[in-house]
Structure 1
Amino acid sequence: MALFNLNDLHLFVQAVDSGSFTAARHLGMPKSTVSKRVAELERRLGVRLIQRTSRSFALTDLGREFFQHAQASIIEAEMAEGIVRRHLAEPAGSVRLTASVPTAQFTLTEHLPALTARYPKLRLSVHVTDRFVDIVQEGFDIALRSHRATLPDSALVQRRLASHPFYILASPDYLSAHGQPRRPEELAEHATIMTSLTEDQWRLTSDGGDEALVTLQSVMAADEPYLLMEAAAAGLGITCLPTSVCRKALAEGQLVRVLPEWTAGSIETTILMPHRRGQLPAVRAVVDFLAERLTG
């Protein structure tokens, strides 16, 4: 008789990923059932995996090591099942993705309906947060990240999708009232909406490779792109935003480019995934779809 079955491991891993038996309710069973199954697993093993009280839920040292191997076993099982799915059916199952608020709002959201239509058997779980997420420890399949600096080397698989230049932007009403700057240094004479709470300069690069460092007169500063875009569209001043954020506002005429031959750096969009999870058919389907839609 086996010491435990794969369902026991699955329940244990899901409970740990969720942080409590209560949070594991997405499994479709009562908290008490999940708790009893994990307790039965501990009884069969003869060890305590989780220390729990009415107020706390934490892995023991042995439980932490067991969890890492149990999680790997579940992934291997999913991969084995995926081999069969590839031959019998379209990608199916759950895919957990995490992204920052701006990346989800401006890069991901508009493509989700098409993803669902293409793969109706997929269940995409999207965690949107601006905190740093350790996708391996927290059990995510994919992280979609936008970043200025180069990402550090790691054991994660990285797939670069796109580079988005920062355009200098203003509303037509603002430019009608205050005039159109013709050279970078003329920006110093205009009201500007800064993308940093601490800096008052923009470093600009022309299409021809020239550079200019301009000190600006800030009327507002914010570190959230939607707020910057709305403030500029309302005529508050000139700002700079990546094309991933301002594309729609430009197309609709809410914003227009200022000094169109100049940009203020760029931001990269990259997919990251743990090596094992990146081999799962459902994960590959989502990654390939995003690469198709976002690469540029």
Structure 2
Amino acid sequence: MALNLNDLQIFVQAVDSGGFAAAARRLGMPKSTISKRVAALEADLETRLLHRTSRSFMLTDPGRDFYEHALAALIEAEAAESAVRQRHAEPSGIVRITASVPAAQFFLSDHLPSLAVAYPKLTLQLHATDRFVDLVQEGFDIAVRNHFAPLPDSELLQRQVSIDEVILVAAPSYLEKHGFPADPRDLKNHAGLLVSQTAKAWRLHHVDQGTISVSPHCRFIADETLVLLRAAASGLGIACLPETGCKAAMEHGQIVRVLPGWTAGTVATSILTTHRRGQLPGVRAVVEFLAKGFQAERAATGNVLEPLRETTEARS
């Protein structure tokens, strides 16, 4: 037998009101209807739930157990309805986003204005930094991170949205002057644009030819992607950069790929949220919008290395 939620509501209201007459007033229905529905419920259950006379209205022992479970069922039903309605509610409010500098420069700068247009009731706040940000302590809703290694375990929800190949690039003017390297070993005779004084070697991999470590001549050092990209475009030397960040410059002919087939590893991009804030309609809408944007970017380059992945064992 399937119980009717309306009957449970009537029964709970009758108990909470202390009688059929008061419940009828609160529910806006005849007292006789309340009495008949409770009687039908007892008949279906083959159990007396209430002791009622002209002077008393009391739960039986089975009635007390039934009342507690009926009340819990109504609360869960209300929560289920609320959850669905929230998903259809228009996202609104302030959503605070922290992002690594490359993610802000090469992705969010293009997509956040479109996101703001799509959801006019949202106010977006972006903070770009490569330092570790504690979402909970610093009051952020979303973090967008580029990372070469797995992120450390935490209580955050993680959604990996992209894996990008790191490729070798240089300006046509540099290659015309210094020649195109035909083999990774040739890079030792070329100017390298490096990320740090200590990271002077590039570890390159080819699916058929394996892995090799090479050290170009250090020409320029910068720990910021856009600076290295512009240095490469100016003809200073060869740089190792994420492919997506190079896309626009390559399309405009400012740089070209060097040693196609060889890569310097991969960089992943993940979106992180807290369990509680991640359920808010505004935060959820931003996460979904950005995830689709990352997916479209990777599809455009033809380099979707694996499907989008979401984990509840988050990393931060």
- TM-score of the pair, normalised by structure 1: 0.70
Contact 1:99 1:127 in 2 (8 A): yes
CA distance in 1, matches of 2:87, 2:238: 51
Partner deviation per Cα, 1:94-146 (whole Å, 9 max, x = no partner): 11111122221112111112211211111111112232210011111100000
Question: Structure 1 segments of 4 or more deviating over 6 A?
Answer: 80-83
Structure-1 separation of matches of 2:127 and 2:83: 24
* Residue number in structure 2 paired with 1:292: 292
Q: How far apart are residue 149 of structure 1 and its match?
A: 0.9
Q: 2:172 aligned with 1:175, yes or no? A: no
Q: Is 2:254 the counterpart of 1:250? A: no
What amino acid is the match of 1:273?
Answer: T
User: What SS does structure 1 have at the residue aligned with 2:97?
Assistant: strand
Aligned to 1:128: 128
Shift in alpha-carbon separation, 1:279–1:254, aligned structure 2, 3 A: same
Aligned to 2:137: 137
**Does the 8 Å contact 1:195/1:222 carry over to 2?**
yes
In the alignment, the residues of structure 2 paired with residue 99 and residue 244 of structure 1 have an alpha-carbon distance, to the nearest angstrom, of 16
Q: What's the CA shift for 1:195? A: 2.1
State the structure with more CA Rg: 2
Which ranges in structure 1 are unaligned for 5 or more consecutive residues? 1-79
Q: How far 1:247 sits from its partner (Å)?
A: 1.3
Letter in 2 for 1:150: P
Instruction: Look up the equivalent residue of 1:262 and give its one-letter code.
Output: W
TM-score of the superposed pair, with normalisation by structure 2? 0.65
Q: Would you say how many aligned residue pairs link Structure 1 and Structure 2?
A: 216
Aligned-residue sequence identity (percent) comes to 52
Equivalents in 1 of 2:274, 2:264: separation in Å? 33
Give the match for residue 220 of structure 1: 220
Amino acid at match of 2:278: G
Q: Show the counterpart of 2:163.
A: 163
Deviations 1:31-74 (A, max 9, x none): xxxxxxxxxxxxxxxxxxxxxxxxxxxxxxxxxxxxxxxxxxxx
CA distance in 2, matches of 1:209, 1:123: 50
CA RMSD of aligned residues (A): 1.7
| CA shift for structure 1 position 289 | 0.4
- Structure 1 residue 209, shift from structure 2 partner: 5.5
Taking the aligned partners of 2:214 and 2:221, their CA distance within structure 1 comes to 16
Paired AA for residue 266 in structure 1: T
Which runs of no fewer than 5 residues in structure 2 stay unpaired? Answer: 1-80, 299-316
1:183 CA drift (Å): 0.4
Q: Distance in 2 between matches of 1:111 and 1:270?
A: 16
Change in Cα spacing, 1:215 to 1:86, as seen in structure 2 (3 Å) is closer
Q: For residue 109 of structure 1, what is the aligned residue in structure 2?
A: 109
Q: Which amino acid aligns with 1:283?
A: V
